[in-house]
Amino acid sequence: MTHTVASLTVNTLIENGIDTLYCVPGVQNDQFFDALYHRHNEINALQARHEQGAVYMALGAALATGKPQVFSVVPGPGFLNGTAALCTAQSLNVPLFGVVGQIPSGAVGKGLGLLHEINDQAGIMQRLTKHASSIVDPASAQSLLHGLWQQMVSGRQGPVCAEIPVDLWTKRVEALPSKRIESLRAPQVNAAQVQQAAELISAARHPIIVVGSGAQGHATLIRSFAESIDAGVVACRTGHGVMNADSDLCLSNPAAHRLWSQCDLVLGLGTRMFNQKKLWGTDAALKVVHIDIDKEVLSRVGKPTVGIHADLADVLPLLIDHVNASGNSEWRQQIVKTKSVVKTEIENKLLPQLEWLSAIRDVLPREGILVDELTQIGFVARFAFPCFEPRTFLSTGYQGTLGWGIASALGAAHARRDVPVVSIAGDGGALFTISELATAVHHNIPLTVIVMNDHAYGNVRGIQRDDYDGRYIASDLSSPDFVALAKSFGVTAERAETPDDLRSCLQRAIAHKGPNLIEVPVSDFPSPWEFIQLPAVRGVQG
């Protein structure tokens, strides 16, 4: 079958289930978009207003669905504009496929000063992704594209990029019939390690399970397993929703920390367990069972008692079969009691943030998606916002990417039109991608953005207030009237002065089948950091 490199690329995306390309077009990719035009009934090009918006939208769509997503940008400044989103995808183990243009192949690396030329674009890609490759020979285009896709979906998933020079798009190649690309075979489960882990779990009286992004696809098994052995389940940022917040065993990070000194076994599922192994401390009395698809993660922060390099889908059923699920009602009671004590402490110190979060939780359906931000409300949400289903709390994880929220939430809302999506942002972070409200209107994406406006980088200002005797510097902001700004885009917008106002505004917004913005004027909030930066409470730090 004869293809151009451009039509082959489009065909590869379609054959692998892609129906949307998040993009900003440009001259180096014109032939690719022309090929896309001829398949526009199968794959939609969703144009953003900025490259960072396009890549963030793909990121949000992937987080909300758990499925690969694709973006396309021009080289040089176009690619560089998207790199904050790209490194966030890498930290979150998100399957993104980037189609990135390049100057003519014969000019790469020669410093001729061509439009969008930068030094070693391919090298930059390789440092920010799981894998990146350049097409230098049209004959190898199909195998390269297939190899990148396989890398993206295999093992610990992550973003990949294909760099394609402008002169290669129209080169004709002979290609094999396309087919859906499968992931590489997962590592074989070590039966002896499963048996050893099962014995440790069966003997444990005070177990805690830590879940991360790698556990998102295994919630049903994990919930059943945790209930059978009376294990508390905690997520720091990316594992929220794996355990139902209604369960007695669902732990906030501060509550799990309070119980850490009593824990005799921790089971890490699809998580680095950095907080627990490095910050909270370990000792000889604590047994560690760590299961992850990435072998390097298992011993990166301290060697586990048992480290199983395998896919959770393969290990968990075996582990459940081998564990003597006797449970411990006294430990469950201790978990419930500790949760209640810690919840009261949080309410006593952070009531202003909790009132706003409660207003959102009261209106947002259980299956609705909340996209957090680097804002005072967002920080508290990470340990005090109840989540009931997987992939309903989207976060930047350890990358802490300020300004990601609105654009990423647009991608989530576009990909999951079946559920309400709410983005929370401060006035500082909101302005990073506020221009994408134009994209929301153009494509009628039903996202609701809540902007908490304190005319400051609130977190920075709070730290300067509490830790630097009020020596404020570079933390105050002059922010716009967000309601007027949103309306200028054609977005439905209101202002909420109280939590009850927010409930009413949010109800109307969710009922509206289009983009919405709610501005919430706020002042200083009490510091949440004593519930976030939790100290070592036992033995040896990793």
Answer whether 21's CB lies under 8 Å from 36's CB: yes
Percentage of residues of the chain with pLDDT beyond 70:
99
CATH number of 2-174: 3.40.50.970
Q: Is the pLDDT of residue 173 over 50?
A: yes
d(CA 542, CA 539): 10
For residue 295, the model assigns a pLDDT of 95
Answer whether 39's CB lies under 8 Å from 6's CB: no
Residues pairing with 96 in the sheet: 69
Q: At 140, is the secondary structure helix, strand, or coil?
A: helix
d(CA 206, CA 417): 41
Q: Name the CATH topology of 341-530.
A: Rossmann fold (3.40.50)
Report domain extents, the chain: 2-174, 193-327, 341-530
Torsion angles phi and psi, residue 373, rounded to 5: -145, 175
Give the pair of three-digit tokens for residue 472. 């404020």
Domains 2-174 and 193-327 share a fold: yes
Please compute the mean of the pLDDT values over residues 179-191 and round it to a whole number.
Answer: 93
Please compute the mean of the pLDDT values over residues 79-104 and round it to a whole number.
Answer: 98
For residue 540, the model assigns a pLDDT of 55
Residues pairing with 41 in the sheet: none
CATH number of 193-327: 3.40.50.1220
d(CA 138, CA 164): 10
Which residue in 485, 487, 460 sits closest to 474, CA to CA?
Answer: 460
Residues 6 or more apart in contact with residue 453 via CB below 8 angstroms: 426, 427, 479, 482, 519, 520, 521, 522
For residue 541, the model assigns a pLDDT of 47
Helix residue spans in 28-135 (DSSP H): 30-37, 51-65, 77-81, 83-92, 121-128
Task: Give the pLDDT band of residue 539 (cuts 50, 70, 90).
Answer: confident
Q: What average pLDDT is seen over the chain? A: 96
d(CA 298, CA 482): 46
d(CA 66, CA 156): 13
d(CA 318, CA 262): 27
Hey, what amino acid is at 473?
I
Residue 275 is inside which H or E element, if any?
none
Q: Is the pTM of this model over 0.85?
A: yes
The tens digit of pLDDT for each residue in 191-220 reads 999 999 999 999 999 999 999 999 999 999
Q: 287-292 and 2-4: which strand pairing? A: unpaired
d(CA 197, CA 267): 9
